[in-house]
Chain A
Amino acid sequence: MSELKEQLKAQIIEQLNLEDINITDIADDDALFGEKFGLDSIDALEFIVLLEQNYGLKISDPSEGKDIFYSVNSLADFIEKNKN
């Protein structure tokens, strides 16, 4: 699981073009859409693309997105529970 979280952090930095942010700057329980990273609604869409492209996972219920994308922990949990 920790390897998946580190991988996710690297993918988030690359996919969202988070300049000057390193993997060590993202704590597992950091609120991804809090003030720390300045993410917006376009970034939320990028998360959906990231899940589908890298893990083959789609979110069937959009209302679940807020919880799934809350933190690296919640993202990793979702991936672990739904991967084939």
Chain B
Amino acid sequence: MKIKAICKIDSNEIIVNEQVVYYNNSSSTDWKKIAYQQLNFDYPKFHKMDNLSKLAVLGVKYIEQAVDFSSFKDDEINMIFANKNSSYCSDIKHYTNYTKNNLVSPADFVYTLPNILIGEIAIMQKWYGENNFFIHDNFDMNFFLNQINLYFCENSKYCIFGWIESNEEEEKAIILFLEQDNKSNFDFNRLNNYL
């Protein structure tokens, strides 16, 4: 299995393939919006997404600057995403809305499932491959490699894997674009440089 691209996102910077592609040098707390604007990618839906989806979209679009996705068929790219805290921030927002403010927002409610971020990417990129979202106690790459290999055993060629976390303490994402390659072992050293 080969890492064709790797992206790390946090509130300070976005790194793709060992290069800083976005650096947060503003005092704005809306750094994801600024990172999106830098992409020169017109997708108004971005502003309606929850934080998990925004992080995932930014990761995929910044990786796209390093990998030509247009050369792949629409069902060739599978997706596996995971985190520990599920859709915690959206859950709290929805809960607060209806318990304290007596308000219900369908646009908030729809994000009270973490796998919705996969749907957002699939719609945006028009990808129709297999996908899955795992809730896991920790970033256990061996576990996720087993899941990715299950897809590769079914003759799929590519997989995007992402660990996306958004909670009160931090926002971060690690996203990999992986290619099936029986001659290469997964490069843990390269991944560890991002952890």
Supplied contacts A19-B44, A42-B48, A49-B105, 18 more A-B pairs, CB within 8 Å:
A16-B48, A16-B107, A17-B47, A17-B48, A17-B107, A18-B44, A18-B47, A19-B33, A38-B44, A42-B106, A42-B110, A43-B107, A45-B106, A46-B105, A46-B106, A49-B103, A49-B106, A53-B103
Q: A45 vs B110: C-alpha distance in the bound complex, in angstroms? A: 11
**B interface bracket (residues with beta carbon within 8 Å of A):** 10 to 19
Q: Is B135 an interface residue (CB 8 A)?
A: no
C-alpha gap A40/B110 in the complex (Å): 13
Interface residues in A1-39 (C-beta closer than 8 Å to B): 16-20, 38
B104 at the interface (CB under 8 A from A): yes
Q: Bound complex: CA of A7 vs CA of B127, how far in Å?
A: 39
Shortest CB–CB separation between residue A1 and chain B, in angstroms? 27
Q: Mark B97-141, 1 if CB is under 8 A from A, else 0.
A: 000000111110010000000000000000000000000000000
Inside 8 A of A45's CB, which chain B residues have their CB? 106-107
Question: Residues of B at under 8 Å CB distance from A?
Answer: 33, 44-45, 47-48, 103-107, 110
Q: What are 24 pairs between A and B in contact, CB < 8 Å?
A: A16-B48, A16-B107, A17-B47, A17-B48, A17-B107, A18-B44, A18-B47, A19-B33, A19-B44, A20-B44, A38-B45, A40-B45, A42-B48, A42-B106, A42-B107, A43-B107, A45-B106, A45-B107, A46-B105, A46-B107, A49-B104, A49-B105, A49-B106, A53-B103
Q: Smallest CB–CB gap between B38 and chain A, Å?
A: 15
Q: Which residues of B contact A42 (CB under 8 A)?
A: 48, 106-107, 110
Docked complex Cα distance between A43 and B110 (Å) = 11
Complex Cα spacing A73 to B131, Å: 43
Cα(A53)–Cα(B105), bound, Å: 11
Alpha-carbon distance between A40 and B48 when the two chains are bound, in angstroms: 11
Residues in B neighbouring A43, C-beta threshold 8 A: 107
Shortest distance from the beta carbon of A46 to any chain B beta carbon, whole Å: 6
CB distance from B89 to the nearest CB of A (A): 16
CB-nearest residue of chain A to B43: A38
Q: Contact: A19 with B47, CB < 8 Å?
A: yes
Residues of A within 8 A of B110 (CB): 42
